[in-house]
């Protein structure tokens, strides 16, 4: 079993927040709003990767911070904006950097943390939103597919996911992990148990870690129910 890289609680929670944005990217300036900046840790371990530069900046205004579009100032060899009081204002290049979640790193971390099998080549089900990332053993005799879905709280994501799942053959039913805090009812995605990662973390306030027993508890309850009835969700029985 591969040991997952240590991820701080603050760093992991930031990744979940970024994954829930329409584009899973964040500007360096946004880190300044956090009481403790986890960006250096996430960049160092490869969880965040460079993704170009931001062409807008949050700057002080008379009535509070405002967003200003940035333009190239050839005489200063930098991007900036014009201010009526200060004239041309240029920003340090590092303050404009954008970083995005390194999705392959995130999947590898989940696979190592949950001891997933068949996790070497995740399959994208909904472009940029849903992936089949492997299998998890829920008993010694039974394993099920594991999907990761971001922005599952949005109706468009659920509709696209249902359409994609209906086209799959041989891998129906299983566990859906999501970065969304608010999850749909179990009836919204038949044969799948939906779990918000934020709700199955351990009590360790320093380390971001999934409580495997808590994660699988509702799944095992349903498993026992279906076994007693002689079937299992996704088995066709």
pLDDT of residue 149: 97
Domain count, the chain: 2
pLDDT of residue 133: 97
Indicate whether 122 and 75 sit together in one domain.
no
Q: Among the three residues 66, 101, 136, which one is the final residue of a domain in this structure?
A: 101
Indicate whether 132 and 194 sit together in one domain.
yes
Indicate whether 65 and 121 sit together in one domain.
no
Does 211 map to a domain? yes
Q: Cα–Cα distance between 131 and 87 in angstroms, integer?
A: 48
Indicate whether 201 and 216 sit together in one domain.
yes
Indicate whether 73 and 115 sit together in one domain.
no
Arithmetic mean of pLDDT, 61-75: 68
Q: Among the three residues 83, 101, 119, which one is the final residue of a domain in this structure?
A: 101
pLDDT of residue 206: 94
pLDDT in tens, 135-194: 999 888 889 999 999 999 999 999 999 999 988 877 778 899 999 998 876 666 778 889
pLDDT of 236 > 60? The answer is no
Does 156 map to a domain? yes
β-strands 97-101, 25-27: how paired? antiparallel
Does 142 map to a domain? yes
Indicate whether 36 and 94 sit together in one domain.
yes
Does 39 map to a domain? yes
Task: Compute how many other C-beta atoms are within 10 angstroms of the C-beta atom of residue 213.
Answer: 10
Does 236 map to a domain? no
Question: For residue 80, what pLDDT band results from cuts at 50, 70 and 90?
Answer: confident
Residue of 218, 211, 210, 215 lying closest to 109 (CA atoms): 210
Indicate whether 120 and 41 sit together in one domain.
no
Q: Which residues constitute the domain of residue 23?
A: 9-101
Q: Taking a C-beta distance cutoff of 8 angstroms, is the pair 27, 54 a contact?
A: yes
Indicate whether 21 and 56 sit together in one domain.
yes
pLDDT of 19 > 50? The answer is yes
pLDDT of residue 82: 76
Does 234 map to a domain? no
Q: Among the three residues 82, 101, 120, which one is the final residue of a domain in this structure?
A: 101
Arithmetic mean of pLDDT, 72-83: 73
Q: Which spans in 24-121 are helix H?
A: 28-31, 39-45, 103-114
Question: For residue 237, what pLDDT band results from cuts at 50, 70 and 90?
Answer: very low
Indicate whether 136 and 87 sit together in one domain.
no
Does 169 map to a domain? yes
Question: For residue 88, what pLDDT band results from cuts at 50, 70 and 90?
Answer: confident
Does 237 map to a domain? no
Indicate whether 33 and 118 sit together in one domain.
no
pLDDT of residue 72: 75
**pTM metric for this prediction:** 0.78
Nearest-10 Cα torsion for 182, 171, 111, 188:
0
Indicate whether 38 and 96 sit together in one domain.
yes
Indicate whether 203 and 113 sit together in one domain.
yes
């Amino acid at each position: 079993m591969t040991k997952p890289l240590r991820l701080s609680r603050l760093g992991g929670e930031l990744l979940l927040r970024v994954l829930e944005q329409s584009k899973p990217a964040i500007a360096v300036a946004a880190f300044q709003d956090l009481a403790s900046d986890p960006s250096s840790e996430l960049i160092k371990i490869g969880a965040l990767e460079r993704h170009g530069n931001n062409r807008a900046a949050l700057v002080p205004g008379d009535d509070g911070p405002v967003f200003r579009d940035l333009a190239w100032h050839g005489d200063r060899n930098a991007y900036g904006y014009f201010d009526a009081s200060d004239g041309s204002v240029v920003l340090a290049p590092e303050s404009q950097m954008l970083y995005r979640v390194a999705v392959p790193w995130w999947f590898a971390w989940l696979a190592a943390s949950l001891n997933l099998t068949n996790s070497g080549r995740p399959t994208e089900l909904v472009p940029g939103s849903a992936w089949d990332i492997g299998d998890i053993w829920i008993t010694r005799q039974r394993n099920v597919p594991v999907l990761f879905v971001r922005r599952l709280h949005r109706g468009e994501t659920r509709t696209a996911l249902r359409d994609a799942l209906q086209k799959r053959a041989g891998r129906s039913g299983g566990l859906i992990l999501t970065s969304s805090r608010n999850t749909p009812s179990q009836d919204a995605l038949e044969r799948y148990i939906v779990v918000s990662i934020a709700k199955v973390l351990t009590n360790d306030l320093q380390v971001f870690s999934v409580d495997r027993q808590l994660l699988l508890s509702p799944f095992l309850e349903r498993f026992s129910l279906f076994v007693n009835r002689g079937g299992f969700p996704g088995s066709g029985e």
